[in-house]
Copies of this chain bind each other. A is one copy, B any other.
């Protein structure tokens, strides 16, 4: 059965997201236009706006689709299992590409409140919520004490690891670093 003309196939959607990320890497956020996305993907601007809303939303959704797995989908039954799954699903090459992309976006986020909001609503907040659900389950199972003060800082620890390593050692985060950081910092801080 053919898809209705107003719908877009998942393959076509992935193709469009990839084109947006290519453009982002090539020209940066400021210079990226809906016209350029339309030209590169041979689609109409009307389709782009109907399907994704604004440019900040299009960029945030394209970035979201590079994530190998959302934290909200992970539930192995133990906190150690959940974090191991998170590390396992991380892709070294993808994280290196993401580091470069996010560095390019840091400036744009500061200049554009709309981009800041779209990244927060579509990328950051959902993952922080997923992380908090994961931690709440661990508290309910008795793996973490409910009054453990580090519970409030797990997003800061993880985001910090991703940002600090390129700054300090000039290399992107890889799976080995992430695993070591979780074992050395996150679990001891949580008393696990």
Contacts and interface: CB of A to CB of B under 8 A. Distances in A.
Interface residues of A, number: 30
A185 B153 contact: yes
A163 interface: yes
A153 B124 contact: no
A184 B185 CA distance: 11
A26 to B, nearest CB: 15
A101 to B, nearest CB: 11
A160 interface: yes
A159 B149 contact: no
A191 interface: yes
B156 A164 contact: yes
A189 to B, nearest CB: 5
A45 interface: no
Contacts of A180: 149, 153
Interface of A: 103-104, 106-107, 110, 124, 128, 149-150, 152-153, 155-157, 159-161, 163-165, 167-168, 180-181, 183-185, 188-189, 191
